[in-house]
Structure 1
Amino acid sequence: MTEELVTLETAKLLKEKGFNEPCMIAMNIEDGRQYGTNRTNSELPIKVCSHPTQSVAQKWLRETKNLHIEISYMYGNYWIYDILTIPRHDLIGLSDRPIVRYNTYEEALEAGLQEALKLI
């Protein structure tokens, strides 16, 4: 079992929003090529960004932006997400977000990561 990496779109959003943690993989923003590294976004060339796992990105949002992405399994065999503030536990999100049923936990988490980053 391996941890899921964020998509290129999410990696670019993370860099834009200040994610600067060392990652074992970096990604070329223009063509998606991956590189082995252990550098932060600030140490990488402009057209390259860190490529973290979903769990690292989720933890970064929790610890630095006080946003928790909650994934729920629903009757009917699908997943959804919500974004909550820490510590108040207020439900937040884009007002025009359609209700989407995700087939996997990872799909729901990826969508939640992207929405949370757009809210910052």
Structure 2
Amino acid sequence: MTEELVTLETAKLLKDKGFNWKCEHLIDRNKVITKYNLPQSMSCCMEIDDESVEFLCPTLYIAQKWLREIRGVYVYVEPVIGKRWKLSFCDFNVPTEESDWMENEINKGNGYKVYVTYEEALEAGIQEALKLI
């Protein structure tokens, strides 16, 4: 079994929000993924003319864990009928009665989006959470 890595878009959002956990993979601006034997940190990621051209590329699980442990936002995927998936969020930084603000902001009265795969849903949830924090 291979764990799914985040996409370039998610890797960029993670960097913007301060993600700096060591990873075995980097992704460059051309979406080329490089694997290293030893985990790399943000200091290894290349910049040209103050523009990042390489980004840490964690697994979806690590990105989800970082959001939960460092930023206090829990993104989780729930099954729906027809072998589809939907997103839910919990923000531990606000009072319990307000913890669904993120989910409400993302859905904006349009109902929840349904995804074909668990991984697709988790990636979308991580991206949406990163955009709101």
TM-score (norm 2): 0.81
Gaps of 5+ in 1: none
Q: Which residue of 1 aligns with 2:55?
A: 49
Give the distance between the partners of 1:44 and 1:77, measured in 2 at CA. 38
Whether 2:89 is the aligned partner of 1:83: answer: yes
Cα distance change, pair 41–56 in 1 and its aligned pair in 2 (3 A): same
Q: Which moved more, 1:99-108 or 1:84-93?
A: 84-93
Matched ranges for 1:16-95 at <5 A: 16-29=16-29, 31-37=30-36, 38-46=39-47, 47-86=53-92, 88-89=95-96, 90-93=99-102, 95=105
Q: Secondary structure at the match of 1:3?
A: coil
Please tell me the root mean square deviation across aligned C-alpha atoms, in Å.
1.7
Whether 2:130 is the aligned partner of 1:106: answer: no
Give the distance between the partners of 1:77 and 1:107, measured in 2 at CA. 13
Whether 2:6 is the aligned partner of 1:6: answer: yes
Q: Which residue of 2 aligns with 1:118?
A: 131
**Number of matched residues?**
119
Over the matched positions of the two proteins, sequence identity in percent amounts to 41
Q: Is the 8 A contact 2:106 2:128 kept in 1?
A: no
Q: Which amino acid aligns with 2:114?
A: R
Q: Which structure carries more strand by proportion?
A: 2
What is the deviation of 1:96? Answer: 5.2
Give the distance between the partners of 1:70 and 1:92, measured in 2 at CA. 15
Give the distance between the partners of 1:60 and 1:96, measured in 2 at CA. 20
Give the distance between the partners of 2:106 and 2:26, measured in 1 at CA. 32
Gaps of 5+ in 2: 48-52
- Where in structure 1 do 4 or more consecutive aligned residues deviate above 4 Å? none
Q: Which amino acid aligns with 2:40?
A: R
Q: Which amino acid aligns with 1:95?
A: E
Indicate the structure (1 or 2) with the bigger Cα radius of gyration.
2
Q: Which moved more, 1:94-103 or 1:3-12?
A: 94-103
TM-score (norm 1): 0.89
